[in-house]
């Protein structure tokens, strides 16, 4: 009995000794990652974790005891704007991560605050790792001439029109197929779209004409752009708004509300309710969002491939405000940034580099229908096979712009959104909404915004 106890004690002591010894010998470098939990892109954070694993394989092969541990903090903010505000607070109290995922237009805010690392040097020194990234995408993460983040994906936004509902309205397949070209030619305007959507509601074909996101976000920029609102003055490096363009835009919103194409309840609906109404329940004629929604639509209607999908759904750019005008689109890349406060800046930057390589990025692209960041991905068999939507949407990028990288563009967007909400819910007339936006922009942004006639 006694011997048994001694043996047991010896064993416990042995195990303890081994554990202590190993942990003392192996050095673990913790890299904290901050990413918004997003159903439309779980691999944004996932690819960073995989990059950590890849790096650990290199380290094992090199015979060192150092290991990288990715500590992931997935936040539950409603959108990227809310998430950025939370992250700024976290940095302010010294609880910032080493790597963070952000919407590209926040790059300026984080660079200005001294939280985003200037990656210019790192990118220039590593052409083997970054050389294949699609050139124009870098523009979206540049602030005052330097790159402060690495684009993680890109996308195309559009109205998704439900063809079955269009057919119910009496449109022939030929007319439906001709619609995208008519939008691009400026023949089918934003007003025509609301006439069509309003007609669908009034005839009882659908409950909602057009459904859009319920909160502030980048989408609306392509709508305001169709009415000539240019949010940024590059030369003065200031945000700007034109009273006439705002009035034109809100006149259109009011027109759509009066036609019943836009619903008073849209901005008080939850995302879930909007998705339900747009996909499974088929209660909307048009849904306004981005190409990654193809994933949800394919699932909701059990569609098999491109032809099946195109029988069901038509994509159009945001039509021009008036006949003969230009349509518009928006690409809104999400990006990886490295903290300027990180103790392991170089390591964090290399993890971002690994996560941005064609194979991991392609996995994100094909599983969530976001357009890839590397030229090479476009010819990969998986992209050709599963990413038909990305290939099909690419021509729409011809009309795409980015959001300006001004630190206060998030607030600018939120004000425009409140104006839209005011008109949709019947609280504001078109003129009152334009005045509201001008007042609020002055109120919130002060000297950062220039109001023009």
Partner 1 sequence: MPDFARAQLRRQRFNFALFLGPALVLLAVFFVAPVVIDLVLAFTDMGRTLAVGKLTLENFERMVTRDTRLLGALGITFIFVVTTLGVFNVTFALLLALVTTAVPQRLGAFFRAVWLLPRMSPSVVYALLWLWVVDPNERGLLNQIVVHVFDMPPIDLRNNHPLLVIILANGFIGASLGMLIFTSAIRSIPEHLFHAARVDGAGSLAIVRHVTLPALRWPISYMTIHQSLSLLVSFEYILLITAGGPFYDTTVFSLYAYRRAFESGEYAYGAALSLILVVIGVVAALALWRLMDMQRLLQPPRIEVH
Give me the residues that bind partner 1 (CB under 8 A), please: 85, 88-89, 91-93, 109, 113, 115, 264-265, 267-268, 411, 414, 418, 421-422, 425, 427-428, 439-440, 442-444, 446
Two tokens, residue 114: 């001294």
Instruction: In angstroms, give the least distance from the CB of 428 to partner 1.
Output: 7
How far is it between the farthest Cα atoms of the chain?
A: 96
Instruction: In angstroms, give the least distance from the CB of 158 to partner 1.
Output: 27
Q: Which is nearer to partner 1, 113 or 359 (CB)?
A: 113
Q: Which is nearer to partner 1, 110 or 399 (CB)?
A: 110
Q: How far apart are CA 208 and CA 200, in angstroms?
A: 8
- Lay out the sheet containing 238-242: strands in order across: 232-233, 238-242, 449-452
Q: Which is nearer to partner 1, 68 or 416 (CB)?
A: 416
Instruction: In angstroms, give the least distance from the CB of 88 to partner 1.
Output: 5
Instruction: In angstroms, give the least distance from the CB of 120 to partner 1.
Output: 22
How many CB atoms are located within 10 Å of the residue 53 CB? 11
Q: Which is nearer to partner 1, 215 or 367 (CB)?
A: 215
Q: Which is nearer to partner 1, 40 or 215 (CB)?
A: 215
Q: Which is nearer to partner 1, 282 or 444 (CB)?
A: 444
Instruction: In angstroms, give the least distance from the CB of 418 to partner 1.
Output: 7
Q: How far apart are CA 415 and CA 406, in angstroms?
A: 15
Q: How far apart are CA 75 and CA 32, in angstroms?
A: 13
Q: Which is nearer to partner 1, 35 or 84 (CB)?
A: 84
CB-based contact 67:59 (threshold 8 Å): yes
Q: Which is nearer to partner 1, 373 or 403 (CB)?
A: 403
3-class DSSP state of 162 = strand
Two tokens, residue 194: 């609301």
Q: How far apart are CA 358 and CA 128, in angstroms?
A: 12
* CA distances in angstroms from 141 to 59, 287, 362, 369, listed in the order given: 31, 28, 20, 21
3-class DSSP state of 30 = strand
Instruction: In angstroms, give the least distance from the CB of 420 to partner 1.
Output: 10
Instruction: In angstroms, give the least distance from the CB of 282 to partner 1.
Output: 16
Q: Which is nearer to partner 1, 15 or 113 (CB)?
A: 113
CB-based contact 369:440 (threshold 8 Å): no
Instruction: In angstroms, give the least distance from the CB of 110 to partner 1.
Output: 9
CB-based contact 73:376 (threshold 8 Å): no
CB-based contact 34:99 (threshold 8 Å): yes
How many CB atoms are located within 10 Å of the residue 441 CB? 24
CB-based contact 183:319 (threshold 8 Å): yes
3-class DSSP state of 67 = strand
3-class DSSP state of 96 = coil
Q: Which is nearer to partner 1, 34 or 315 (CB)?
A: 34
Q: Which is nearer to partner 1, 89 or 306 (CB)?
A: 89
Instruction: In angstroms, give the least distance from the CB of 236 to partner 1.
Output: 21
Instruction: In angstroms, give the least distance from the CB of 433 to partner 1.
Output: 10
Instruction: In angstroms, give the least distance from the CB of 422 to partner 1.
Output: 4
Two tokens, residue 234: 């590059």
- Give 366: exposed, middle or buried? Use CB within 10 Å, 0-12, 13-18, 19+: buried
Q: How far apart are CA 12 and CA 14, in angstroms?
A: 5
Name beta bridge partners: 70. Answer: 31
Q: How far apart are CA 453 and CA 449, in angstroms?
A: 13
């Amino acid at each position: 009995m006694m011997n048994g106890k001694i043996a047991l004690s010896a064993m416990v002591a042995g195990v303890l000794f081994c554990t202590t010894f190993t942990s003392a010998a192996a050095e673990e470098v913790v890299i904290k990652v901050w990413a918004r939990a997003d159903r439309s892109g779980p691999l944004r954070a996932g690819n960073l974790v995989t990059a950590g694993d890849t790096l650990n394989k290199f380290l094992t092969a090199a015979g060192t005891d150092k290991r990288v541990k990715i500590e992931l903090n997935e936040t539950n903010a409603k959108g990227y704007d809310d998430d950025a505000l939370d992250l700024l607070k976290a940095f302010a109290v010294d609880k910032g991560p080493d790597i963070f995922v952000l919407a590209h237009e926040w790059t300026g805010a984080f660079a200005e605050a001294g939280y985003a690392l200037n990656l210019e040097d790192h990118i220039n020194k590593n052409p083997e790792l970054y050389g294949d990234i699609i050139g124009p995408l870098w523009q979206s993460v540049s602030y005052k001439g330097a790159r402060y983040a690495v684009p993680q994906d890109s996308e195309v936004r559009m109205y998704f029109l439900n063809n079955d509902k269009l057919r119910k309205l009496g449109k022939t397949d030929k007319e439906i197929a001709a619609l995208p070209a008519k939008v691009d030619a400026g023949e089918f305007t934003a007003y025509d779209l609301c006439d069509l959507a309003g007609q669908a509601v009034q005839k009882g074909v659908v409950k909602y004409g057009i459904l859009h996101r319920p909160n502030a976000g980048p989408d609306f920029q392509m709508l305001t752009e169709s009415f000539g609102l240019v949010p940024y003055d590059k030369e003065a490096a200031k945000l700007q708004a034109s009273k006439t363009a705002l009035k034109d835009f809100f006149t259109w919103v009011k027109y759509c509300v009066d036609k019943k194409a836009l619903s008073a309840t849209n901005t008080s609906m939850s995302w879930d309710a909007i998705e339900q109404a747009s996909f499974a329940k088929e209660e909307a004629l048009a849904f306004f969002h981005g190409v990654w929604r193809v994933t949800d639509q394919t699932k909701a209607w059990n569609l098999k491939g491109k032809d099946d999908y195109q029988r069901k759904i038509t994509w159009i750019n945001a039509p021009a405000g008036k006949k003969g005008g230009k349509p518009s689109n928006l690409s809104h890349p999400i990006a990886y940034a490295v903290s300027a406060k990180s103790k392991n800046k170089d390591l964090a930057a290399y993890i971002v580099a690994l996560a941005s390589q064609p194979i991991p990025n392609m996995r994100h692209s094909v599983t969530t229908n976001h357009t890839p960041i590397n030229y090479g991905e476009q010819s990969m068999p998986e992209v050709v096979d599963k990413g038909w939507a990305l290939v099909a949407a690419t021509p729409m990028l011809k009309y795409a712009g980015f959001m300006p990288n001004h630190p206060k563009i998030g607030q600018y967007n939120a004000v425009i959104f409140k104006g839209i909400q005011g008109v949709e819910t019947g609280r504001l007339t078109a003129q009152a909404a334009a005045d509201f936006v001008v007042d609020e922009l002055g109120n919130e942004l002060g000297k950062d915004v220039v109001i023009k006639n």
